[in-house]
Each structure stands twice: as structure tokens, then as C-alpha cells.
């Protein structure tokens, strides 16, 4: 029997552990650093480092690492042991304040998009004391930010921390305008729901496509997909529940608030949702969660797939980024309360978000763009590539009433005064009906639903925080100098709703009508990553990020380049994998089967001329034709891949991969899948979709 409260955070150097292990003065100094960002004295750091090391050794650690999030989207670590030689030929275990605070990994092999030329390989990692250190794999992990020596961010954490500071400062300005003189800080909170697939490891090992690319590149549909809708929330199979239990325990040890587990829509698909926390921690925790998910799966003879679209024909995996704003006293600023029309605080933040989402649709789209996620957006399983915002009918009625200058709301029951208690308290059930919207208000938070399952959530949250900070700052600039603040705030809310309401859409985002309607409204529809990415470096966006010191111009262009480059690489690997599978496995397998059929015909004829061979001949003819076609498509794909390599311009190359190479891949796959259904199972070189999707019991 696990005792969860004791297990929880047992591998984390958390506040309780610090309090217990550090001298009072040291603890106080460290807390000051954590709370206010005050620089940490080296003497204090030495004491903290030593206590951390002693604690980590008790937890089985022999090494430490600065744990960081380079722009590859994964987390990076380089382990150093605690050993230090002594005169008598032995070692002692040591860890200094200097080693805790700063690390110097060889940065040259991490993508930097030209910020740091490889001859100037030095970058450094700096301890982020706002995220607790923890022990995993016998290693003390210290969450850090990763920067170049010129101070430019080489990671995802640094801009995230900057954006959190910005939105806090601007939100405080607004709260002051509204007469709140108490709140000292505003934090953004995030709860990321994580989807994943679980498949059998033995089957996985037989599929080159899964091994090299994380998704299947060939595979005919199984007779059964997700059409029966019997998997979502269905009872969980024994092997899966054993995995989930183990996963929860491992996550709890790391202080991750894993809360909800259930089956998802597609067969073999599942979800884990944690309780929300501050964005910085939620990001670190989500990165850890993805890693632990994979590790625990291996222990159970399973593989956890985090790719956005591992299987064609059934839903892929996403991540829902639930996002809100909270004061340091714990007040949720996005809680409408019982009387939203008179809840000025809620309305002004809603207005800022509405304006932000409208003006920076492109950035929100860019923040979820990737080769993997392109398979999902707009494919009727995830929100479309068009960014809009869902606020629900009740809240829309409030917004409309404000626009029309009324204090009553028109709803189904006719005109109703918006007195206390008339409208339902905005519970989930009145706002959570729409599952198709990219950005949905769900009672007291917004749920950004367009994220892909493997994405580092730092990116969308950097965007959200920065765009809302910008709108709040514009509001504050307007409101601060005004005498009659109450009227000015009201007018501003009304004007903003009026001007930006076009971003609100409560209908079915999967419908063709919406695509047409969105076009009429002038909303962007950026269908793929290479089409969306150039918007990131549009002048208005460079202005936004540099104004708020979240990114420098150089950082932005480097990120732009890295992402475009990475996109091309992903598709290139997929294409090469397909070519190898096609030439070396599928072609020979089908050819061998055809030969077997020919032999069967010949044997029959030798026996007696009257035995019919029509069936074999039909299959021989069909597969032979398909093989010719298959061969031609391999050649075409190869040509396209070679052509792509020759394109110098990174944006042009990404576009070519996304269109020409990608189309050639789809065409090759179609022929391969058609051959699969006509080829004897024993000849087919890979486990089928049926085996992969229904193999775990
Ligand atoms: P679903 O959207 O699947 O119905 P839930 O309503 O259970 O799921 O919540 C989804 C996520 O939203 C959870 O991770 C939860 O902790 C998170 N969440 C709830 N309140 C907030 C908030 N104020 N800020 C950020 N996330 C929140
Ligand atoms: Mg959700």
C-alpha cells in the first residue's frame, strides 16, 4: 500500500526539506532570492549546495547535473559526479555553491540559430531557484536557465521567466488603477493535460518508422478504429492500469501533482492531467512528466508514444494548456463570479485577452506549429489552424449587453436583469460545451487546445503572457492619467469588446462554414508550420517582444531559423525512413509473395490443366501493377528529397519539405497501404495497425 502523502515530493529538495535542512539564516536568504529574485551570496550558496548534496546522497545520488531546456524542445543534462580526490588516494563527496549556481556545458552542439558561432562555444547555465532541485536516476538535477555569454537566451526557460515577470508588472498596474493596493505579484497558472499512446515494446521494435520518427509512415487501417466510441473513458486494461499506477507514483515522488488518468478517444490512447501550478513549475513538470512516461513504459514492456500523430485514421495526441492569472493572495483574476457584468476586474482582464488574441493570432498559431502538429490542426480531431476564442453563450450575452450599453442580458428566457444570483455562477458546465475551439473559456481559465502532445509548453505560455502583458500595459497607459477611473475603465472595456469581438466564435470550429466565416472576418488561417513561421518575425511581433525584453531581435531570428531548420530535418528523416522501408522491406516482401503465388499456379498447372488459377492470377496482376507504381513513387520521393537538400534558403526549404516532399510521401504511403491489404499477413514485414492498436491488454 503506497502512502501517497509520504511519497509525494520525496525526491524533491522542496520548501519543507530546505526548512528542515538549512540553518535559519540561510533558509531566509534563500527564500528572499526565490520570492524577490535577490542575488544569492556565495557563502549562502555554499551552505545550500552542501545541504543539497547530503540530502541527494541519502536519496541515492552520486552525480549532479544542471537540468535545462535548450531549443531542441527536450531537456538536456550533463552529469558530473560529486567525487573529489583526497591525499590518501580516496575520494570525498563535494558540491560547492559555485557549482550549484553556474555551469558551463559545451554549448556548441545545441541549436542556437547563429547566435553563438561554434568557435565561441561557451554558454552557461544559471540556477533557477524558483523551481526545486530533485533527484532522478541517481542524479541531483538542478533546474537552470541556459544563456550565451553575451546574455542571450539559448533556452525556453529564460524567456518564459521574463514573460512571467512582464505580465505580473502590467497586471499590477491595472489592479492599482482598480484600487487594489495590496496585491504584490500576479502569477500565471497552468495545468497541462497530456495525451499519449501506449503500445507493446516488442511490436514497436519491429517498426523502423516508430523507432526513427515516432510515427507510423505506412500502415493500412485496422478493421476497427475509434468509430464505436468505446475507448474514451472506458475501463482501463490491466497492463495499462499497472503502468498508470507506477507512473503516478514516480510523478508524485518528483512533486508532480498527477491527478487524473483516463482512456482517450483513439484505441491505445490515454491522458494524464496534473493539478495546475505556476507556469514555470508546470513547464518543468510537464517536461519531466514526458520523460518519466517513457521511462516507466519501458519497465512495463511498453512504449509511450508522444508524437502528435502516431497512427493515421485515428485521433492524434495533443496537450491542453489551461491558463489563468492569480494574485499572490490566491485570487483568480479570471473568475467571473455571480455577477460578471459588474465584475470590472474580470471584465478588464477578459478585454485584454480578447484584444491580445485578436492582434496576435499569428503568434498563438506559431507557438503550436510543428511538423507533428500539422497533422492534427484542422483535421477534425483538433482545433483548426484558425485561432479564435470561445467564451460560451452566457458570457457572450454579457459582452453583447456591454457593447449595447445595457445592464441587462438578453437570453433564452427573455430580458433579465443581471442582479446577483440571476446568472448561474460560471461553472464549467455552462462554458465547457465546445470542445472544438482553439482557445476556450472554461469557467475560470482559458484552455488553449491547439498544442501538440510533444510540445514544450514554455513556448505558447511565453506568447500568452507577453501578448496579455502588452494589452494590459496599453490599458494602464490610458487609464493611469485619468481622474475618473471608474468611467474610463467602463468605457475602455466597452470599446475593446466592440472592436475585437470578431475573434469570438462559439460555434463548431470543425465546420466548413467557419472556415468561410473566419475568412470574411479577416482572421488568419495559417495551415502549416512553414506558412505560419514567418509571422513570428513580422515587425509588429519583433516590436512586441523587444519592448517587453522577452526576446531580443537576434533571439527571435535565431529561434525562427532553428524551427524552420528543424521542420525540414524532421520531414527529411521521415522521407529517408520511408524510402528505406519501401525499398528494403516492403518491395521484397510483396515481390516474394507474388513469386509464391506464381509458384502455386505453376504447381497447380503441373498437377492438372483444369484446376483454375484465376484467383491467384488476379492477385498477381493487382500486386504487380501496384509494385510498379510503388517503385515509381519511391523514385519520385527520392528525387524530391534530393531537390530539397539543394535549397539554400531555410524558409523556402521548409516550404518545399512541407509541400513537395510531404505529398510524395503521402502518395507512396497510399500505394504501400493498398499492397498491405492484398498481401498475406505472414509476408508483411511489419506488425499491422490492428496489432499495434489492440496489442496491449
Ligand atoms: P477537462 O478540461 O478535461 O474537463 P479539468 O476541468 O479537470 O479537465 O481541468 C483541466 C486542467 O485545468 C487541470 O490540470 C486543472 O488543474 C487545470 N486548472 C484548473 N483551474 C486552473 C487555473 N485557475 N489555472 C490553470 N489551470 C487550471
Ligand atoms: Mg481539457
What is the CA(31)–ligand 1 centre distance, in A? 28
Q: In the predicted model, is pLDDT for residue 413 greater than 60?
A: no
3-state class percentages of the chain: helix first, strand second, coil last, to nearest 5 = 50, 15, 35
| 123 touches 105 (CB < 8 A) | yes
Q: In the predicted model, is pLDDT for residue 250 greater than 70?
A: yes
pLDDT of residue 40: 83
pLDDT digits (tens, 9 = 90+) for 482-537: 999 999 999 999 999 999 999 999 999 999 999 999 999 999 999 999 999 999 99
E strand or H helix at 286 = helix 279-299
Confidence at 410, pLDDT banded by 50, 70, 90? low
What is the CA(427)–ligand 1 centre distance, in A? 12
| 153 touches 555 (CB < 8 A) | yes
Confidence at 121, pLDDT banded by 50, 70, 90? low
| 636 touches 664 (CB < 8 A) | yes
What is the CA(106)–ligand 1 centre distance, in A? 39
pLDDT digits (tens, 9 = 90+) for 189-211: 999 999 999 999 999 999 999 99
Instruction: Among 262, 322, 443, 451, name the best residue to mutate to test ligand 1's pocket (greatest count of ligand atoms within 8 A of Cβ).
Output: 322
| Of the candidate ranges 112-116, 132-136, 180-184, 534-538, the one whose mean pLDDT is the lowest | 112-116
Confidence at 414, pLDDT banded by 50, 70, 90? very low
pLDDT of residue 574: 98
Confidence at 246, pLDDT banded by 50, 70, 90? very high
Closest ligand 1 atom number to CA of residue 276: 16
Q: Looking at residues 219-223, what average pLDDT do you find?
A: 95
What are the DSSP E strand ranges found in 506-628? none
pLDDT digits (tens, 9 = 90+) for 266-277: 999 999 999 999
- In 3D, which of 652, 528, 637 has the Cα closest to residue 577? 637
Q: In the predicted model, is pLDDT for residue 353 greater than 60?
A: yes
- Tell me the C-alpha to C-alpha distance, in Å, between residue 508 and each of 180, 254, 265: 39, 39, 19
Instruction: Among 272, 276, 438, name the best residue to mutate to test ligand 1's pocket (greatest count of ligand atoms within 8 A of Cβ).
Output: 276
Instruction: Among 164, 188, 191, 464, name the best residue to mutate to test ligand 1's pocket (greatest count of ligand atoms within 8 A of Cβ).
Output: 191
pLDDT of residue 110: 76
pLDDT of residue 151: 82
Q: For 553, what's the count of Cα atoms within 13 Å in the CB-facing half-sphere? A: 4
Instruction: Among 167, 190, 192, 193, name the best residue to mutate to test ligand 1's pocket (greatest count of ligand atoms within 8 A of Cβ).
Output: 193
Q: β-strands 446-452, 318-327: how paired?
A: antiparallel
Q: Looking at residues 181-185, what average pLDDT do you find?
A: 95
What is the CA(442)–ligand 1 centre distance, in A? 9
Closest ligand 1 atom number to CA of residue 274: 14
pLDDT digits (tens, 9 = 90+) for 325-337: 999 999 999 999 9
| 81 touches 110 (CB < 8 A) | no
Q: Looking at residues 123-137, what average pLDDT do you find?
A: 92
How many residues in the chain? 697
| 448 touches 464 (CB < 8 A) | yes
pLDDT digits (tens, 9 = 90+) for 56-86: 999 999 999 999 998 877 788 889 999 999 9
| Beta-ladder partners of 675 | none
Q: For the chain, what percent of residues have pLDDT higher than 90?
A: 86
pLDDT digits (tens, 9 = 90+) for 643-656: 999 999 999 999 99
Ligand at minimal distance from the CA of 464 is 1
Burial of 36: CB neighbours in 10 Å, binned 0-12, 13-18, 19+: exposed
Ligand at minimal distance from the CA of 264 is 1
Q: Measure CA of the first residue to CA of the last residue in the chain; give whole Å.
A: 24
Confidence at 187, pLDDT banded by 50, 70, 90? very high
From its phi and psi, is residue 203 left (phi > 0), alpha (psi between -120 and 50) or beta?
alpha
Q: For 230, what's the count of Cα atoms within 13 Å in the CB-facing half-sphere? A: 6
Ligand at minimal distance from the CA of 432 is 1
pLDDT of residue 148: 85
- How many C-beta atoms surround the C-beta of residue 506 within 10 A? 19
DSSP labels, 86-135: -TTS-EEE---HHHHHEE--BGGGS--TTSS-TTS-BEEEEE-TTS--EE
What is the CA(568)–ligand 2 centre distance, in A? 31
**Residue ID of nearest Cα to ligand 1 atom 4:** 432
**Residue ID of nearest Cα to ligand 1 atom 6:** 428
Ligand at minimal distance from the CA of 190 is 1
C-alpha cell at 693: 492498436
What is the CA(193)–ligand 1 centre distance, in A? 8
**Residue ID of nearest Cα to ligand 1 atom 17:** 191
Ligand at minimal distance from the CA of 437 is 2
What is the CA(322)–ligand 1 centre distance, in A? 6
E strand or H helix at 441 = strand 439-441
- Tell me the C-alpha to C-alpha distance, in Å, between residue 386 and each of 255, 321, 360: 36, 17, 12
E strand or H helix at 296 = helix 279-299
What is the CA(320)–ligand 2 centre distance, in A? 6
Q: Looking at residues 153-169, what average pLDDT do you find?
A: 95
Ligand at minimal distance from the CA of 446 is 1
pLDDT digits (tens, 9 = 90+) for 18-47: 999 999 999 999 998 888 777 888 999 999
pLDDT of residue 522: 97
Ligand at minimal distance from the CA of 448 is 2
Rounded-to-integer distance, Cα 491 and Cα 494, Å: 5
pLDDT of residue 5: 94
Closest ligand 1 atom number to CA of residue 326: 23
Rounded-to-integer distance, Cα 151 and Cα 154, Å: 9
pLDDT of residue 176: 98
- How many C-beta atoms surround the C-beta of residue 118 within 10 A? 9
What is the CA(469)–ligand 2 centre distance, in A? 24
For residue 490, what are the contacts with CB-CB under 8 A and spacing of at least 6?
344
Closest ligand 1 atom number to CA of residue 275: 16
pLDDT of residue 35: 81
pLDDT of residue 433: 62
Q: In the predicted model, is pLDDT for residue 119 greater than 50?
A: no
**Residue ID of nearest Cα to ligand 1 atom 14:** 191
**Residue keyed to cell 544542471:** 66
C-alpha cell at 473: 500595459
Instruction: Give Cα 241 distance to the centre of its chain.
Output: 24
Q: In the predicted model, is pLDDT for residue 364 greater than 60?
A: yes
| 351 touches 496 (CB < 8 A) | yes
What is the CA(192)–ligand 1 centre distance, in A? 8
What is the CA(164)–ligand 2 centre distance, in A? 23
Closest ligand 1 atom number to CA of residue 190: 25
Ligand 1, pocket residues at CB < 6 Å: 189-191, 193, 273-276, 322-324, 332, 428, 444-445, 447
What is the CA(633)–ligand 2 centre distance, in A? 41
| Of the candidate ranges 69-73, 142-146, 162-166, the one whose mean pLDDT is the lowest | 69-73
Q: Looking at residues 145-163, what average pLDDT do you find?
A: 91
Instruction: Give Cα 653 distance to the centre of its chain.
Output: 25
| 340 touches 420 (CB < 8 A) | no
Supply the mean pLDDT for the chain. 93
Rounded-to-integer distance, Cα 269 and Cα 319, Å: 13
Rounded-to-integer distance, Cα 669 and Cα 220, Å: 9
Tell me if residue 364 falls in helix, strand or coil: helix
The secondary structure of residue 439, as a DSSP letter, is: E
Rounded-to-integer distance, Cα 534 and Cα 654, Å: 11
Q: In the predicted model, is pLDDT for residue 301 greater than 50?
A: yes
pLDDT digits (tens, 9 = 90+) for 419-459: 434 344 444 445 556 789 999 999 999 999 999 999 999 99
Q: In the predicted model, is pLDDT for residue 409 greater than 90?
A: no
Amino acid at each position: 500500500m503506497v502512502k501517497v502523502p509520504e511519497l509525494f515530493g520525496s525526491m524533491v529538495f522542496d520548501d519543507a526539506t530546505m526548512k528542515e535542512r538549512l540553518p535559519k539564516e540561510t533558509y531566509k536568504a534563500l527564500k528572499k532570492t526565490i520570492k524577490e529574485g535577490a542575488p544569492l551570496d556565495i557563502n549562502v550558496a555554499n551552505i545550500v549546495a552542501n545541504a543539497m548534496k547530503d540530502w541527494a546522497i541519502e536519496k541515492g545520488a552520486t552525480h549532479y547535473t544542471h537540468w535545462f531546456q535548450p531549443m531542441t524542445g527536450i531537456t538536456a543534462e550533463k552529469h558530473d559526479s560529486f567525487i573529489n580526490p583526497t591525499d590518501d588516494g580516496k575520494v570525498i563527496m563535494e558540491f560547492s555553491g559555485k557549482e550549484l549556481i553556474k555551469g558551463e556545458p559545451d554549448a556548441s552542439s545545441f541549436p542556437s540559430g547563429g547566435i553563438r558561432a561554434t568557435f565561441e562555444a561557451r554558454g552557461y547555465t544559471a540556477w533557477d531557484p524558483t523551481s526545486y532541485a530533485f533527484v532522478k536516476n541517481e542524479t541531483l538535477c538542478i533546474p537552470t536557465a541556459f544563456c550565451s555569454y553575451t546574455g542571450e537566451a539559448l533556452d525556453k526557460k529564460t524567456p518564459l521567466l521574463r514573460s512571467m515577470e512582464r505580465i505580473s508588472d502590467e497586471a499590477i498596474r491595472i489592479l492599482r488603477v482598480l484600487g487594489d493596493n495590496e496585491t504584490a505579484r500576479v502569477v500565471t497558472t497552468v495545468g497541462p493535460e497530456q495525451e499519449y499512446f501506449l503500445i507493446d515494446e516488442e511490436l514497436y521494435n519491429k517498426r523502423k518508422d516508430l523507432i526513427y520518427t515516432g510515427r507510423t509512415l505506412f500502415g493500412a487501417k485496422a478493421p476497427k478504429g475509434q468509430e464505436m466510441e468505446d475507448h474514451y473513458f472506458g475501463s482501463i486494461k490491466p497492463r495499462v492500469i499497472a503502468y498508470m499506477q507506477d507512473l503516478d507514483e514516480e510523478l508524485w515522488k518528483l512533486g508532480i501533482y498527477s491527478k487524473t488518468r483516463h482512456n482517450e478517444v483513439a484505441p491505445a490512447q490515454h491522458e494524464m492531467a496534473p493539478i495546475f501550478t505556476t507556469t514555470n513549475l508546470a513547464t518543468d513538470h510537464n517536461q519531466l512528466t514526458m520523460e518519466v512516461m517513457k521511462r516507466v513504459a519501458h519497465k512495463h514492456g511498453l512504449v509511450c508514444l508522444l508524437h502528435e500523430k502516431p497512427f493515421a485514421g485515428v485521433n492524434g495526441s495533443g496537450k491542453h494548456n489551461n491558463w489563468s492569472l492569480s494574485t499572490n493572495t490566491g485570487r483568480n483574476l479570471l473568475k467571473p463570479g455571480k455577477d460578471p457584468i459588474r465584475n470590472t476586474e474580470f471584465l478588464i482582464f477578459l478585454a485584454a485577452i480578447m484584444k491580445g488574441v485578436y492582434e496576435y493570432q499569428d503568434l498563438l498559431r506559431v507557438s503550436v506549429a510543428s511538423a507533428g502538429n500539422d497533422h492534427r490542426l484542422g483535421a477534425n480531431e483538433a482545433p483548426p489552424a484558425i485561432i479564435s476564442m470561445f467564451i460560451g453563450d452566457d458570457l457572450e450575452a454579457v459582452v453583447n449587453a456591454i457593447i449595447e450599453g445595457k445592464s441587462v442580458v438578453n437570453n433564452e428566457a427573455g430580458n433579465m436583469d443581471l442582479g446577483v444570483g440571476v446568472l448561474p455562477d460560471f461553472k464549467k458546465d455552462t462554458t465547457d460545451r465546445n470542445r472544438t475551439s482553439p482557445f476556450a473559456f472554461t469557467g475560470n481559465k482559458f484552455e488553449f487546445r491547439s498544442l501538440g502532445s510533444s510540445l514544450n509548453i514554455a513556448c505558447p505560455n511565453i506568447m500568452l503572457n507577453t501578448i496579455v502583458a502588452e494589452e494590459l500595459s496599453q490599458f494602464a497607459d490610458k487609464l493611469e492619467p485619468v481622474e475618473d477611473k471608474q468611467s474610463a475603465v467602463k468605457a475602455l472595456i466597452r470599446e475593446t469588446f466592440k472592436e475585437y469581438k470578431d475573434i469570438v466564435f462559439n460555434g463548431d470550429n470543425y465546420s466548413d462554414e467557419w472556415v468561410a466565416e473566419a475568412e470574411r472576418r479577416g482572421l488568419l488561417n495559417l495551415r502549416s508550420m512553414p506558412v505560419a513561421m514567418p509571422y513570428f518575425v513580422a515587425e509588429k511581433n519583433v516590436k512586441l517582444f523587444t519592448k517587453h525584453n522577452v526576446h531580443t531581435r537576434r533571439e527571435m531570428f535565431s529561434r525562427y531559423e532553428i524551427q524552420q531548420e528543424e521542420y525540414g530535418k524532421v520531414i527529411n528523416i521521415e522521407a529517408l525512413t520511408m524510402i528505406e522501408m519501401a525499398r528494403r522491406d516492403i518491395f521484397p516482401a510483396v515481390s516474394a509473395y507474388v513469386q509464391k503465388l506464381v509458384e502455386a499456379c505453376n504447381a497447380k498447372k503441373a498437377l492438372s490443366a483444369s484446376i483454375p488459377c484465376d484467383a491467384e492470377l488476379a492477385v498477381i496482376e493487382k500486386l504487380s501493377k501496384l509494385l510498379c507504381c510503388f517503385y515509381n513513387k519511391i523514385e519520385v520521393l527520392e528525387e524530391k528529397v534530393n531537390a530539397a537538400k539543394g535549397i539554400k534558403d531555410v524558409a523556402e526549404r521548409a516550404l518545399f519539405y512541407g509541400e513537395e516532399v510531404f505529398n510524395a510521401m503521402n502518395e507512396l504511403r497510399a500505394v504501400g497501404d493498398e499492397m498491405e491489404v492484398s498481401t498475406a499477413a505472414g509476408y508483411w514485414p511489419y506488425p499491422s495497425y490492428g496489432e499495434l492498436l489492440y496489442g496491449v491488454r
